[in-house]
Chains A and B, each alone.
Chain A
């Protein structure tokens, strides 16, 4: 597609349920990033992929969070046993550049609300 696509755009779930957030990057972009945006917290780094591998997972808040990328394209961020503090906008971005030096192209985000 023309841009980074994220789905769902909005997700309301009950505490304790699992959720999956999907990111479809720009075709040909090798790098893919996940960030979390909460009020007053800016963009919190979660994880990034170069191809299908994740060199840095240090930003994942807990072992309830996981992410994968298949075929060097689509990525899924999974949150298990959601908690209210997981409520945020989850942003995905992709980049043509492999070395964390290039422009990031962001999706519109997935807004997660945990009741």
Chain B
């Protein structure tokens, strides 16, 4: 069965620092991988997705993610975070089966 693990429930970084949010997945076939963001009081929004091809994908708001098949990972990165990036981030996996989400990582930004 497919599954998604986000090991970090909370992460705190200083504004301007780099960020990496971890995501590990389990899926029997080629995964379709997504990162969504849920800002306070707002709905979920797609940041980026990976289907095939280049394993480094670029998304909105300066985010990128790298697919590593050997590690079953799809970590989200940003070189320099802004206070407006404080939100909850969800990794998801889809494909032939349903789309399921991890439990999320809440990002806190220190001024």
Query: Could you list which residues of chain A lie within 8 angstroms of chain B, going by C-beta atoms?
Result: 33, 35, 40-43, 45, 48, 56, 58-59, 91, 93, 99-101, 103-104, 106-109
Contacts and interface: CB of A to CB of B under 8 A. Distances in A.
Interface stretch (B13-21, B61-69, B76-84, B94-102): B94-102
**Chain A interface, >50% SS class:** loop
A41 B101 CA distance: 10
Contacts of A103: 34, 46, 49
7 contacts: A41-B103, A42-B90, A45-B98, A58-B98, A100-B97, A101-B32, A101-B94
B100 A45 contact: yes
A86 B15 CA distance: 38
B98 A48 contact: yes
Contacts of B103: 40-42
A108 B94 contact: no
A43 B97 contact: no
A108 B45 CA distance: 11
Interface of B: 6, 9, 32, 34, 36, 43-46, 49, 51, 90, 92, 94-104
A-B CB proximity, top 6 nearest: A42-B103, A43-B101, A100-B94, A106-B44, A101-B32, A106-B43
A55 to B, nearest CB: 8
Contact of B96 (A33, A45, A100, A109): A100
Contacts of A100: 32, 94-99
Contacts of B34: 103-104
B102 A104 contact: no
A112 B39 CA distance: 20
A45 B1 CA distance: 13
